[in-house]
Homo-oligomer: A and B are copies of this chain.
């Protein structure tokens, strides 16, 4: 897919830094994490950090974009039928992806991260939300998408933080119901 060959050293440096940041964010807010502490934790020279990133926020952004890319590629690998309209099957798969990387997402969606993740996912969700009834004007359509995406993310966030007590399949069903039928749509749920 991408022709650029990446130097192994660069790759290692970036992986170490990313892992270190994910770890540190578990313990303290991103705003309190200094470049110094981050590099110490990663075992990377501070000069090297600046060769790749501007500051810890920049690194965090890159990490998130990478994940968005992964999920996006996965979604695109699915058949059109599975994408439109948003099926419980596809949603279940995505939730399983979250489940398989709990630690990562708990860190990235937790208290100590920042809020930009939702905005990124919003763009991603455009792909799978184009089936929304096109009878509305663009502004209203945007409200609907915003409502659904942001609400869903925060439910997933909640689900992750509290130990994933429900199965991905059940969560997917719940989300679909909420998205299309709202609270009233839930009255006839399992």
A positions within 8 Å CB-CB of B: 29-31, 57, 114-115, 118, 132-133, 135-136, 139-140, 142-144, 146-148, 150-155, 158-159, 162, 165-166, 174-175, 177-187
A143 and B183 alpha carbons, distance in the complex (Å): 11
A166 and B31 alpha carbons, distance in the complex (Å): 36
A154 touches B147 (CB 8 A): yes
B31 touches A178 (CB 8 A): no
Which of B144, B158, B186 is in CB contact (< 8 Å) with A146?
B158
Which of B31, B118, B144, B150 is in CB contact (< 8 Å) with A183?
B144
Contact partners of A179 in chain B: CB under 8 A = 182-183
Residue of A132, A159, A178, A184 with highest tally of chain B CB at under 10 A: A178
Q: A150-B150, A150-B154 are in contact. Are A159 and B183 (CB under 8 A)?
A: no
Q: How far is the CB of A67 from chain B (nearest CB, A)?
A: 17
Q: How far is the CB of A162 from chain B (nearest CB, A)?
A: 8
Q: How far is the CB of A119 from chain B (nearest CB, A)?
A: 8
B148 touches A150 (CB 8 A): no
B139 touches A174 (CB 8 A): no
Contact partners of A159 in chain B: CB under 8 A = 143
A154 and B155 alpha carbons, distance in the complex (Å): 14
Q: How far is the CB of A8 from chain B (nearest CB, A)?
A: 32
Q: In chain B, what residue has the closest Cβ to A178?
A: B147
A142 and B179 alpha carbons, distance in the complex (Å): 16
Q: How far is the CB of A106 from chain B (nearest CB, A)?
A: 15
Other A-B pairs, 14, CB within 8 Å; known A133-B187, A177-B182, A181-B182: A29-B57, A114-B114, A132-B183, A133-B186, A142-B158, A144-B183, A146-B151, A146-B158, A147-B175, A150-B151, A178-B182, A179-B183, A182-B182, A182-B185
